[in-house]
A and B are shown apart, each in its own frame.
Chain A
Amino acid sequence: MNKLDAEASWQRAINYLLRHKQDAWWPYKPGQGPSAEATAWAALALSEPTLSDNFSLVSKSYDWLISMQNDDGGWSTSPQAKPSDWTSGPVFLSLRKFAEKSSDKSPMAPHLAKSLRAGKDYLIQHRLEKWTPLGQVVMFLFQGPDYSHYPRGWPWVPASYHWVEPTSYSLMALKPLRLSQSEPLKTVVAEADKYLLEIACVGGGWNYGENIRLDEKLPSYQLDTAEALVAIQNHIDNQKVQSALNILRKLAGISTAPMTLAWSIMARRIFGDVVTEDLKTLLDHQDPDGGFAANIHTTALASLAIATTYGAHPLKYTDHLLDLS
């Protein structure tokens, strides 16, 4: 397998995404209705490595995503399935990437900036909340404003418990903002990082968000480990990060599930790994029609993963931070 094979596979995946676009959005699976998440990842995949190739097509999708934004600033998995939910993280991430690329040479479009500010505020306001409203009053009396500072991430569904994946998506979305260098976002990010590091499995890596349950030390999952690693890639010297990376390395060539492989490749590429085995396995599991697992979301992730093996990495944190002020 060589670079040409990877590029050919990438092109087939891109063509699959183009074929399955429905006006301005994508479904999770061909023939279904709209998915905000699938649209977000597919639009991002079509923006890599350069936006210009598919600019007008992708712009339409981002306009659709902006039009789907709820009044509270978040997004829901589909237009009919309100209220806002965890989908807000991946959609914000994709919109932010579009803003970075499209406003490289000219000011950010006002409607895009407005949408991103509202989305950022939604994410800040919808993390885990440990205390009831009355409990917050009482805790404030006991501890002052410090009561609200504890390791916490994001839930799947508002006003419920926090878990690894929605936290990972939200961190990937928010960290590359210039605002993350100052309050309040700086503390929001720090608390989420702390949550992820605390909830890492005893044996290394991450699963959905339980490390010990009733005295049982729970095993990690490859997919969740990869997603969490991308989210806290900036803690490269942390022993838990290194341990998780080693887990992904040991699993190279074992998993054949495309979504897991795609995330594993993207995570390992951030840390400079050569991912020949996983990439070969991923390419070997591409469907004849160019898709992966007959799933548009997975195909988008796969195409992003393939692109990281020879080009820029869209999820790698850099010094280039988007200014939303």
Chain B
Amino acid sequence: MPPLQDNKHSRRAFLQAAFTAVATSSCTGKKELVITEAQKALRYSGISSLAIVTCKSYDENIFQKIRPFLPQLQLPDLKGKSVVIKPNMVDFRPNKPLTTNPAVIASAVELAAFLGAANIVVADGPALHRDTEFLLSTSGIGAMCKKLSVPFVDLNLDDLEAVENANGFTTLKHFFLPKTVVQADCLISLPKLKTHHWAYLTCSMKNLFGVVPGRKYGWPKNLLHNIGLDKAIVDVVRLAKPSFALVDAIVSMEGEGPLNGTAKDTGYLILGKDVAAVDATAARCMEVDPDKISYLKIAGQVIGNIKPDRINIVGSSLVSVAKSFQMPATYYNAELKGSENSQAT
């Protein structure tokens, strides 16, 4: 700041500098993140196995394509357990692949039943629309749930439980989460693979923002951006505790995702227990370096493996499915992101 002098110009300069200091001090600082041993304590240990399963069309029998790889993935035994399948139902735009395809949901239901689940529900808390019935109808997910006789739970309206955010990265001491998720024995993240204008990638981890209930946090769940998007993704994953993920990458989205990108025929699914490994592998399948994705860098230290030498891929090789994705404009120019305070998705 300039030294004080007894003239109007210097006084104005002083005030402007002071204002700048105030304004910048009010912004979320981009300081180096310090990760504690306590935060690392629950990290997935060992090598992470996951499957890349080639599947060119939603008309194929997706479960039968996945089934041969199950013994190598050591998915949990779900005998007698209650299972929540959490797809992406974020929004509806004609001719855009925004949401998890109902055929993939059907395969997840079949998989859960195969693993012995006693009770299966499909559940989501979409972030932008209060009217979940509208999204159930436009996405086809409502019709699929009816066809399968599997209940749908609107997580935005569920009863709430306060879950302590011990050793969290955000400033929230606790999150209110839906009882359906907190009390489930197994949560399956069922994302649609898409680029994302703020996080760069939305996959099995970002998908779990849909378990944060709108009845407390709103439509959109802007608070999750206010408190730091990347940290919020990691905190929500640590609290929701997904058992495994099945990624719908049969048709993905590139460009200005997660809502305004373009469809890309990618032709595969990814299935694995370690959601950090799943997301890192998805990034590589998009020919994107996971180290360029901030939430993945944090996740690599506290959730699971993101380095290729710690990830064992069965099924199709990564190289055989990888396609270069057009990323959102913010990926190439981070200044376009602006403040997280007014972000919605």
Residues of A that sit less than 8 Å from B by CB: 27-29, 32-33, 35, 37, 76-78, 80-81, 85-87, 131-132, 134-135, 138, 141-142, 155-157, 160-161, 163, 165-166, 207-210, 213-214, 216, 219, 221-223, 255-260, 293, 295, 297-298
Contacts and interface: CB of A to CB of B under 8 A. Distances in A.
B15 A141 contact: yes
Interface string B117-160: 00000000000111101100100000000000000001001111
B256 A163 contact: no
A257 B137 contact: yes
A81 B133 contact: no
A142 B15 contact: yes
Contacts of A77: 160, 215-216
A86 B218 contact: yes
A155 B19 contact: no
A155 B218 CA distance: 8
A37 B134 contact: no
Interface of B: 15, 18-19, 22-23, 25-26, 93, 128-131, 133-134, 137, 154, 157-160, 162, 176, 197, 215-220, 222-223, 226, 256, 260, 328-330, 336, 341-342, 344
12 contacts: A81-B215, A135-B23, A138-B15, A142-B19, A155-B218, A157-B222, A160-B226, A165-B130, A166-B218, A213-B344, A214-B330, A260-B134
Nearest to A139: B19
A140 to B, nearest CB: 12
Nearest to A141: B15
Contacts, number: 120
7 residue pairs, one from A and one from B, having the closest CB atoms: A156-B218, A257-B134, A28-B157, A132-B26, A257-B133, A259-B131, A77-B215
Most chain A CB within a 10 A radius of its CB, from B18, B154, B159: B159
B271 to A, nearest CB: 32
A67 B189 CA distance: 39
B199 to A, nearest CB: 14
Contacts of A29: 154, 157
A165 B330 CA distance: 28
Contact of A223 (B129, B215, B344): B129
Nearest to A296: B157
A209 B130 CA distance: 13
A156 B222 CA distance: 8
A199 B341 CA distance: 16
B130 A160 contact: no
A141 B328 CA distance: 40
A161 B329 CA distance: 24
A219 B93 contact: yes
Contacts of B154: 29
A165 B216 contact: no
Contacts of B25: 132, 134
A222 B18 CA distance: 45
A28 B215 contact: yes
B23 A209 contact: no
A205 to B, nearest CB: 14
A138 B21 CA distance: 10
Given A78-B160, A208-B344, A258-B133, 10 more contacts: A27-B159, A29-B157, A81-B216, A138-B15, A156-B222, A160-B226, A165-B130, A166-B218, A223-B130, A293-B133
Contacts of A257: 131, 133-134, 137
A156 B217 contact: yes
Contacts of A87: 215
Given A28-B215, A77-B215, A135-B23, A259 B222 contact: no
B247 to A, nearest CB: 25
Contact of B256 (A134, A214, A223, A295): A214
A35 B215 contact: yes
B222 A163 contact: yes
B22 A132 contact: yes
Contacts of B131: 223, 257, 259-260
